[in-house]
Chains A and B, each alone.
Chain A
């Protein structure tokens, strides 16, 4: 890592006002340029930021540490039954939170499967949602690719086995956050605050951006903005959820494919409404709308679940080496639906789940 100065933030608004760039902006405008030292960046747990800095992908002049700010790590139930999770809550706390395990099981499951115990003890939810992609070309300083402001994408002609199968024109990253898949299925919102202390809430679906919209960032976080919380809407009493992922290792591995399913069941085996979101499939948590449509109002059985799995693949555009993700995603959707509806829980999917 290059040398940098250190500043513990006194308050969220101070942090927001000092930060000169988002990490994405700094990497884009400053990579490899001498003025890279101008950037002052927000650091939470530091897991992703230090990783990028060790690889020389960004060399900020100053880190503004928000990790010790008080009152940003709470997990609290709201009067309406929703839950607010402070941006500094760690993945370990989210995974182990008893109320969340009850109300939003898919999120607990996803948080528990992300990274390792050591990392979950440090990684904050805010930082997790804002971490940069894991595309191996992106993570290699030797490959100055499109997303970093370069001229081409190396993944299309190169090795794209771990890349996106949906919405992958131009850049084929998959979104790196495991919890985001579950959060998107719950239709969560992020809370953003600026230096004046103004807060706004944005649906996760609008917060994340596709490469077609902006090639150079994964979300609409603006400079001078802090992610302060994630809001989970209340769940209907009959809502059932399941998060499933498959990796090459049984644990501590970014998934090859993942799915979060939230089903609003009517008590007679029918599903009122379904939310199906695919992970490791697209540059953003990918909502499988056709699968959702198919499930809404349907009786959940193996046939509808299988049909939902097929429907989830609508619009897929696999690359030269990642077509294997299609059968994988279809199988995961089918299993997650059956498992959420408590019809079939025999099939394993999260071998590494605690």
Chain B
């Protein structure tokens, strides 16, 4: 009970929290999760550490590669540049929660079909950006797809297959599959 109280306090306007670790509540992938964080803990660190959701990757830690992309409500954000403590009541969706258990989101299935995966380290982030695009635009064209993934770096060079996979999900442009 006392804990409950403190949690609300931390989020409440005007109150000072930290720098010591404090309990917070996050709504992740449809579940309510309690965890301890310091104010300086980034969302990416909280997900990968205490929450054990290691599908979210950290590759640059400065918002430049977008490997750590998750959704806050419906918005794709770089979770390395968000503090866990500021998320509040917003819904967090990570790669683990994109599709139901043992199911694949259409973007995930298309990535498999078109081999839009090589080493795979940047892939969860790319999938999250592509799925966010698809949610607001079910038939994106090449330009829209490229813009939606413009924040991502992929050193293996999966971009062409990612675009192909996404085009295949829409119908505006026929993918040129051999």
Tell me the A residues contacting B by CB distance below 8 Å.
1-10, 14, 46-47, 50-51, 53-54, 61-63, 65, 67-68, 92, 115-119, 121-122, 251-252, 352, 354
Residues of A within 8 A of B15 (CB): 7-8
- Other than the given A5-B16, A122-B81, A252-B150, 5 more pairs (CB < 8 A) read A3-B40, A53-B40, A92-B75, A117-B148, A118-B76
Query: Is there a chain A Cβ closer than 8 Å to B12's Cβ?
Result: yes
A119 and B129 alpha carbons, distance in the complex (Å)? 12
> How far, in Å, is A307 (CB) from chain B's closest CB?
34
Query: Is there a chain A Cβ closer than 8 Å to B134's Cβ?
Result: no
Contacting pair B151 A252 (CB below 8 A): yes
A47 and B10 alpha carbons, distance in the complex (Å)? 22
- Our count of residue pairs bridging A and B at CB distance below 8 angstroms stands at 108
A5 in contact with B147 given A51-B62, A118-B78 (CB within 8 Å): no
Query: Is there a chain A Cβ closer than 8 Å to B123's Cβ?
Result: no
Residues of B within 8 A of A68 (CB): 13, 86, 88
Q: Closest A-chain residue to B125, C-beta based?
A: A118
Q: In the complex, which residues 33-73 of chain B have their Cβ closer than 8 Å to any Cβ of chain A?
A: 38-40, 42, 61-64, 66, 69, 72
Contacting pair B150 A251 (CB below 8 A): yes
Task: Please tell me the size bucket of the interface on B.
Answer: 35 or more
Contacting pair A65 B86 (CB below 8 A): yes
Partner of A117, one of B14, B19, B40, B147: B147
Contacting pair A116 B62 (CB below 8 A): no
Contacting pair B19 A352 (CB below 8 A): no
Tell me the B residues contacting A by CB distance below 8 Å.
10-20, 38-40, 42, 61-64, 66, 69, 72, 75-78, 81-83, 85-86, 88, 129, 143-144, 146-148, 150-151
Residues of A within 8 A of B146 (CB): 251
Give me 14 A-to-B residue pairs in the complex whose CB atoms sit less than 8 angstroms apart, sorted by A's number: A3-B40, A5-B16, A7-B16, A9-B13, A50-B83, A62-B16, A116-B78, A116-B150, A118-B63, A118-B66, A118-B76, A118-B129, A121-B72, A122-B78
Q: Closest A-chain residue to B151, C-beta based?
A: A116
A6 and B66 alpha carbons, distance in the complex (Å)? 25
Contacting pair A5 B17 (CB below 8 A): yes
Residues of A within 8 A of B20 (CB): 3
Residues of A within 8 A of B11 (CB): 8
Partner of A9, one of B14, B19, B151: B14
> How far, in Å, is B59 (CB) from chain A's closest CB?
13
